[in-house]
Structures are given as C-alpha cells and as structure tokens.
Amino acid sequence: MAPRHVLRCCQRSLSWIPVIFINLVVGWSYYAYVVELCILTIPNNAEKISYLVVFHLFFIMFIWSYWKTICSRPANPSKEFCLPNVEKEQYEKEEHPDTQQEILKKVVVGLPVYTRTGTGAVRYCDRCLVIKPDRCHHCSTCDMCVLKMDHHCPWVNNCVGFSNYKFFVLFLAYSMLYCAFIAATVLQYFIKFWTNQLPDTHAKFHVLFLFFVAAMFFISILSLFSYHLWLVGKNRTTIEAFRAPVFRNGPDKNGFSLGFITYPSILTPTTMDKCQVTALVWTYFLLPFLHPPNSIPGMMDTTWTVMDATSYISRLSPYQAHTL
Ligand SMILES: [Zn+2]
Ligand SMILES: [Zn+2]
C-alpha cells in the first residue's frame, strides 16, 4: 500500500474523533438525565414523566438532524460543468494561463455562471476538472468541489453546504434546545446539591456535571446558531461572509440576497419559483424528514445556483443586466 494512501486512511479515521466525542457526551447525558436524574433522583412521578416526555422529543429531533447532517453526501457540480473532451484536451495541452482562460470563457458562455475569481477569471477547479458553479468551492478535506459550500465542519465530519445546510441549522437549533431544557430542569437539583439536600449517592455528581456540561454547550451553540440565523437571513454562506463573491461587475456581498421573507426557503432547495417558495410554511424546514413538493432530495443539480443567479440579475439595473 502506498504511503500516501496509508496516510489518507489514517486522516479519514482520525477525522471521526470529534464525532465519536460528541456521541459519547450525548450518550452520557442521556444516561445521566434519564437514569440518574429522572429515575433515581426525582421523587415526584408527574414531574418525572413530564420531564422524560419533553426530553425525548428534543433528543430525537437533535439526533435525527445531527445524523442527517453527517450522512448527507456533499452535492457536486453536475456534468455540464465538466469541460467537453475537445476543450479539455486543449486546456491540458496549453501552458499559458491566458489561453487557458480563453478556452474556459468559450465553455462558460452556455452555463449559468455569474461569479468570477478576484482577478475576473472563470473559476475552474484543476483538481476536479470542472468549472465551478456560483457558490461552489473545492473542499481540501473532502477533496471535491461542493455546491453552495458553507464550511467543512469537523464536528459532523462533513462539508456543510447545498445538500445539508437545512439539517445543520436544525442540528444547531435542536441541540441548543436539548441543552437549554437539561440546564433548566436540572437547575433546582443543582442548587440542592450545593445546599446538601440531595441523597448522598453517585447520582448527585451526575446532576452536577449535567448542569455544567449542558450550560457550557448551550452558550457555545447559541453564539454559532445566532450567527447562522443572521447568515440565512442574508442568504450568505460563511465563506461569502469572509470574502464577498465577485460578479462580472465586481464584488457584491449581498449578491445572493433573496430578502428576509424567503427565510425558510433558503434552507430548503426546491425547483419551485420564488412566489411558491415564499408561500411555504415553516413546518417544512422545522422537521428534518419533511421536504416541500418538487424539492430536490439528491441535489445533483444546479437549480439552486440558477435561482440565486436569477435573483441577482433581477436586482441589477437594465444596463448592468444587459452587459452580463
Ligand atoms: Zn474541486
Ligand atoms: Zn469538506
């Protein structure tokens, strides 16, 4: 086995460590809350049952959206974005960057691509050999071009982008609610711990750590969740927040903004037009297993990219639109 291949296998195995860590913490929190707190510490049956029902509701939604984020394969550019064989051969033979750009410019004419590099060149991935659609970026960890790439998240060991951004936002929302619920319900027993009102068993230490861990995770997830809500409101990815996308007329950080009203639609890739999308109810995006009619579950498609570009064009002045 080639050393590079062995190294790659090791990297892939090690990249699961954060996911295993999260699962161990969640597994312990489940045991500590259900067994040590609800079954062994809480004496009142009504309180015990009501806590367990709400806890399991948040737990299921949290785990569901978490694993959907992990298991969704990143969406790649479709085959129209690969160079045709003749142009590909010409491009590979050519050594001069300007002539290579001329080849790319001829191909890109027939594609819905409106963004360019900082120097105005057509965005091309030399590793995947594709013209990058708008909002697509090459992820060095996944070693592929990912549509509407937001960032590569080590906690889910996956790229967050076109195929799973909705699940990622839901994962943040439900994990935050999960932690908030645990912290709020454990608080009174946490106070009893410090006033020596809890039975002197090992359960009291689980209660103590349960509060600390839940509160700590709640605060850190809250800041990340708030940031992503702000990004969603502006239909902006984390990458675009750091570096504004460059259009033919120059950089424009609001280039893909669809307006606040289409909030849920941004999280739910769909083939429907903007009016229909706006009419969609929030339930479609609050549940990880629901998709609007005509949505794209596989996402090997560029529809959303086209939609974003259409929105961009509609905001241009007639002169700017004409010069595109
Ligand atoms: Zn690539
Ligand atoms: Zn990645």
Residue 202 lies in a domain: yes
Task: Name the domain count of the chain.
Answer: 3
* Same domain flag for 19 and 60: yes
Residue 226 lies in a domain: no
* Same domain flag for 62 and 178: yes
How many angstroms does the Cα of residue 77 sit away from the middle of ligand 1? 9
How many angstroms does the Cα of residue 10 sit away from the middle of ligand 2? 17
SS3 content of the chain, % helix, strand, coil (to 5): 60, 10, 35
Residue 34 lies in a domain: yes
Low-confidence ranges of the chain (pLDDT < 50): 261-266, 268-281, 293-324
* Same domain flag for 62 and 171: yes
* Same domain flag for 89 and 189: no
- Please identify every residue annotated as catalytic: 153
pLDDT of 296 reads 43
Residue 84 lies in a domain: yes
* Same domain flag for 69 and 189: yes
Q: State the pTM of this model.
A: 0.82
Angle between helices 17-31 and 203-233 (to 10 degrees): 130
* Same domain flag for 62 and 197: yes
How many angstroms does the Cα of residue 232 sit away from the middle of ligand 2? 20
* Same domain flag for 244 and 317: yes
Tell me the residue range of the domain where 317 lies. 238-323
Instruction: Return d(Cα 319, Cα 322) in angstroms, integer.
Output: 5
Taking only the tens place, the pLDDT of each residue in 107-143 is 998 888 889 999 999 999 999 999 999 899 999 999 9
Looking at the CA of 139, name the nearest ligand: 2
* Same domain flag for 60 and 103: no
* Same domain flag for 49 and 166: yes
Residue 146 lies in a domain: no
pLDDT of 291 reads 58
Residue 147 lies in a domain: no
* Same domain flag for 46 and 166: yes
Residue 151 lies in a domain: no
Residue 11 lies in a domain: yes
Q: Where on the phi/psi map is residue 196: left (φ > 0), alpha (ψ -120 to 50), or beta?
A: left
* Same domain flag for 93 and 31: no
pLDDT of 163 reads 84
pLDDT of 208 reads 93
Please check whether residue 77 is in contact with residue 302, taking contact to mean a CB–CB distance below 8 angstroms.
Answer: yes
